[in-house]
Structure 1
Amino acid sequence: MLAVHSLRRSALLPRSARTRSFPLHLINIASRPFSTSTTALDAKDATLGAAYVRHGSIASSASRQYPPLNTLLPDRVSGWPTPWITAEDFERYMGVLNGNGWGIRFSSAHSKPSKSHPSRVVPELLKTYHFGSDECVVKFVEDLKELMSEENHHCILRVANTQVTIYTHTHSARPALGSKNAPGITLRDVRFAILVDSLHSTESVARDAGGASSSHVQFPGLTWDEYQNSIRTTMAPVGV
């Protein structure tokens, strides 16, 4: 089963109708970033201290040119547990996802700690959108709810005023054949991320925005080796 976090009705209300109590209009992820010595991952909250770039622009420092997102949509994945993304998947999808504002982080919010792993973490994709109005946010969240139902894949949302952050990982996943199940990034998440960006770039969203700027936070890119090293660092038992 995938991690399911229901959308709260109050998150869809106009700003004037929301209560002042912050958690009531926040689709909350009570998570804290996992600190690590590696420089390969961004351990800070993606919504803080990051420069916004206009949606659809390529702000990556990499000179490589990637095909449009909508030409890379993977087929639906059937069955659980779902395999983690492979090196081939990473090479095919992550460069263009990163160029379009998606990043990878490791969160300790979604896994129960154990004696050997007191801060067990989960790799996940995330992206933050900044909209020009509450109406744009309402439209986006409503479309996103429909997409989650269609894909049977439920992301985690954090809504704060006109800023929406999406976090997605597959709960019932497996790193490799014969290994124990462990939540992580799979082709379900890659497909979902591409479809979310397709929602955001529709004419209706642009028209509802009234020409206002819709933006996303830009993340540094990871290589496959950096991603693997980050996983080893964050998933290693204490003392290793």
Structure 2
Amino acid sequence: MLALRFPRALYISKHSGRRLFSDLSFPVPPKPKGWPTPWITETDATDYLFPLYSQGWYISAVSGDLPTVKTAGLACRFAFPGCPPAAEFIKDVLTLTETENHHPCWLKLTNSGDNSSVHICSTTHSALRPKWDPTDTSESRALQGITLRDLRLAALISSLPSNTFRPSAEIGPSRTRPTWDELSATLRFWATPASQPTRTKESSDGATDGMIARREKKNPVCAACAGPHPINTCPNRHRIPPPPCALCDGSHWRVDCPVGKESQRSGKRVSQIKKTLAQTPVNPCPNCGGAHWMADCRVPQAPPQLVEALQLPVPKIDPFEANGGKVD
């Protein structure tokens, strides 16, 4: 399948009347026709998905229609030097989604100081997974996932002139940017419902909604594999691509976040720990002279007057008196 390249403007914004694209040199897949849309194939991944990795896009876990089933979404976090350019970018994205008749499953704007970020994740709800079993039917294969609609939307979003985000040139293979074999194996693993006991909210013992909710918490659902166990005991979470960590944006599950573990150990807020990790003190610690902040110093701190008062003089011992006047 050949990539489409558009040398001229494509869309005109309905709100401002300006062109969304002045030049498209990024490979854009053709617009699919009909519903449901099949999942991407290995050829689609080679032609369109893998080039998107270099633009900052990655594979993210998305909850399916059933609580025990997970699927994949195509996500990216765009960074901007402030809120106005991020808001302009969101306007163009919304106009593009109306034109394409395909909307992302989430579109989030986050402001932190002078910087802003826009997090987008796209998946096709009316999709058709591959036929993995001879007994599969159209009804059993109906499962949301990544299709050509998502690859096309991602390519067009990356080509927006209002997108001033330029990802790092050091982006390479990772768990969130898997190869085709890793991606297909993960998708099939996610799409297999885990065996969980059926629960109903109808209680014959007169339990209240709060009591029923507390009972349901005893049967957790793993955020990684959707199994009937908490994620911190999941044996497969290290083989499943995680979404960006909500605490530090790292490529790991939140339960494995070093920032979160340090916060639990020290009792400090996450923002304090991130600030400490991001900044290295220029001057040594005034308390012990170490290469850390004084607030993180493990040496007991006391006023100089108290330290001087607690220092005992070194006793002077005459060696002749200690040996009874005898010389060895």
TM over 0.5: yes
Separation in 2, partners of 1:145, 1:238 = 36
Q: Deviations over 1:19-60 (max 9, x none)?
A: xxxxxxxxxxxxxxxxxxxxxxxxxxxxxxxxxxxxxxxxxx
State the superposition RMSD in angstroms.
Answer: 2.2
Separation in 1, partners of 2:190, 2:129 = 14
Q: Which ranges of 4 or more aligned residues in structure 1 deviate by more than 6 Å?
A: none
* Length, aligned pairs only: 156
Q: What is the letter of the counterpart of residue 81 of structure 1?
A: P
Separation in 1, partners of 2:130, 2:188 = 14
Q: Deviations over 1:116-167 (max 9, x none)?
A: xxx2112110000110011101110111111011000101201111110000
Separation in 2, partners of 1:182, 1:205 = 31
Q: What is the letter of the counterpart of residue 182 of structure 2?
A: E
Separation in 2, partners of 1:79, 1:176 = 17
Separation in 2, partners of 1:190, 1:169 = 9
Separation in 1, partners of 2:65, 2:166 = 31
Contact between 1:129 and 1:164, CA under 8 Å: does it hold in 2? yes
- 1:129 corresponds to: 78
- 1:85 corresponds to: 40
Higher RCO, 1 vs 2 (CA within 8 Å, ≥6 residues apart): 1
Between 1:71-80 and 1:190-199, the stretch displaced more is 71-80
- 1:105 corresponds to: 60
Q: Does 1:226 align with 2:175?
A: no
Greater Rg by CA: 2
The equivalent position to 1:95 in structure 2, one of 26, 29, 50, is 50
**Displacement, 1:176?**
2.8
Over the matched positions of the two proteins, sequence identity in percent amounts to: 35
Contact between 2:129 and 2:145, CA under 8 Å: does it hold in 1? yes
Cα distance change on mapping 1:83 and 1:205 into 2, 3 Å: closer
Q: Deviations over 1:70-109 (max 9, x none)?
A: 342111111100010011111111221111110001222x
Q: Deviations over 1:154-190 (max 9, x none)?
A: 0120111111000000000001364421000000000
Q: Does 1:198 align with 2:159?
A: yes
- 1:146 corresponds to: 95
Contact between 1:127 and 1:216, CA under 8 Å: does it hold in 2? no
Contact between 1:158 and 1:165, CA under 8 Å: does it hold in 2? yes
Separation in 2, partners of 1:70, 1:183 = 29
**Displacement, 1:238?**
2.4
Separation in 1, partners of 2:55, 2:166 = 10
TM (normalized to structure 1)? 0.60
Contact between 2:128 and 2:144, CA under 8 Å: does it hold in 1? yes
